[in-house]
Amino acid sequence: MSEIATRTLELLSLLQAQKEWTGDELAARLKVSTRTVRRDFERLRELGYPVDAEKGPGATYRLAPGSTLPPLIFDDDQAIAIALALQTAPSSVQDMGDSVKRALRTVTELMPEELARRLKTFDVQTIENAWDLAPPTITPALLASLSSAAQDRQLVKFQYRSRTVESSDDVPVVAEPHKLVVWSGRWYLIAYNQRQHSWHAYRLDRISDLTQPGWRFRPHEFPEDDITRFIQLQPDRGDATDSWPCRGTVRMNCPVHLVAKWAPGGANIEFIDERTTRISMGAWSWSGLLGLLATFGCDFVVEDPPELAAAARRIAVRLGRAGEFPSETAPEG
């Protein structure tokens, strides 16, 4: 009986790891006959697991969607992966902290003693980085609505607060949702704007008054192969202007695709020409902001504000002094 129970649990684990198996494949993995595999599947059905099977030569088996959720079976590595994922879950979704803690506690309590002991060696503590401003949070309801609309190919309407529009009023959008993406802790909706006849990446924290009129759409083909690059090159991808204590705009002698790739997630970029890019970004101090801009290793001109230009002049003098070595201590090369 112990051997049958162990084999049944292993069979269930295989079905959850891969969508479809043939009877011969399962028999080889479990080191039993195909007839034994069929009996094991009957046992799974009796336990409440919905199993689909195609009979005959080359019979295939799969777990089917059910009206209830039977107990899930995880191997040791899967259980540890889930627990670690919960411990490092992003904090950009509102009111999820308690749910994440309860889920982690449930998983841990159901683990065998030896596995729970192993998990304690993976105790993770997240420390905030002072250079990385926490991204704005969004609601689970907004995520659920946009995700289901993309899945069901339902049009969405919403108001969008864009940094590229001179007016402070929100812009009405009618869009075909394609995919939700998280980049640098910030949530984006990739969607086709029906009014502008173009693709955009919309920051979820700038979306308001979302509705679904009930209109279905025939999806347009997404024109880009690299979604990350597409988001990075969006001119208003970054944070609002008041997100940092010190924020400035410079004109940089660097192609836009390079600036977009290496700039922080909270920065906004704008194409000027093939060699020049405008970038707006922030930091905790003017010196810190200039330090980030200097990492690009190219010339740039401060456009705004005057405080950033003044800080650049002060730092230029300071760096000049740092480069003046006495002759007897000057480094070789």
Question: Residues 100, 173: one domain?
Answer: no
Residue 134 in domain: no
Residue 131 in domain: no
Residue 332 in domain: no
CATH number of 295's domain? 3.30.70.250
Question: Residues 29, 82: one domain?
Answer: no
pLDDT tens string 109-162: 766 777 777 777 776 766 666 656 667 888 888 998 999 999 999 999 999 987
Averaged pLDDT score across all residues of the chain: 83
Higher per-residue confidence, 328 vs 262: 262
**Residue 86: how many other CB atoms lie within 10 Å:** 19
> From CA 283, how far away is CA 266, in angstroms rounded?
10
- Predicted pLDDT at 167: 47
Mean pLDDT in residue range 29-36:
87
- Can you give 108-120 as a three-state secondary structure string? HHHCCHHHHHHHH
> From CA 259, how far away is CA 238, in angstroms rounded?
13
Question: Residues 180, 224: one domain?
Answer: yes
- Predicted pLDDT at 165: 45
Question: Residues 225, 297: one domain?
Answer: no
Question: Residues 157, 216: one domain?
Answer: yes
Mean pLDDT in residue range 80-91:
74
Residue 278 in domain: yes
Higher per-residue confidence, 324 vs 29: 29
CATH number of 18's domain? 1.10.10.10
Question: Residues 150, 83: one domain?
Answer: no
- Predicted pLDDT at 103: 75
- Predicted pLDDT at 326: 65
Question: Residues 197, 276: one domain?
Answer: no
Number of domains in the chain: 4
pLDDT tens string 174-208: 999 999 998 888 899 999 999 999 999 999 999 99
pLDDT tens string 292-314: 999 999 999 999 999 999 999 99
Residue 68 in domain: no
Residue 10 in domain: yes
pLDDT tens string 225-259: 899 899 999 888 888 766 688 999 999 999 999 99
Helices (H) and strands (E) counted in the chain, each on its own, are 11, 12
Query: Among 15, 35, 63, where does a domain finish?
Result: 63
CB 298 within 8 A of CB 252: yes
Q: Which residues have CB under 8 Å from 213's CB, separation 6+?
A: 155, 157
- Predicted pLDDT at 299: 95
Question: Residues 27, 110: one domain?
Answer: no
pLDDT tens string 155-172: 999 999 876 544 456 889
Question: Residues 221, 301: one domain?
Answer: no
Residue 23 in domain: yes
Question: Residues 84, 59: one domain?
Answer: no
CATH number of 205's domain? 2.30.30
Q: Which residues have CB under 8 Å from 280's CB, separation 6+?
A: 238, 241, 247, 248, 249, 267, 268, 269, 270
- Predicted pLDDT at 221: 93
Residue 71 in domain: no
Question: Residues 148, 227: one domain?
Answer: yes
**Percent of the chain residues topping a pLDDT of 70:** 83
**pTM, to two decimals:** 0.67
**Domain range enclosing 116:** 76-120
Structure tokens that stand for 259 in this block: 């600036």
> From CA 152, how far away is CA 80, in angstroms rounded?
33
Question: Residues 184, 262: one domain?
Answer: no
- Predicted pLDDT at 78: 74
Mean pLDDT in residue range 319-324:
85
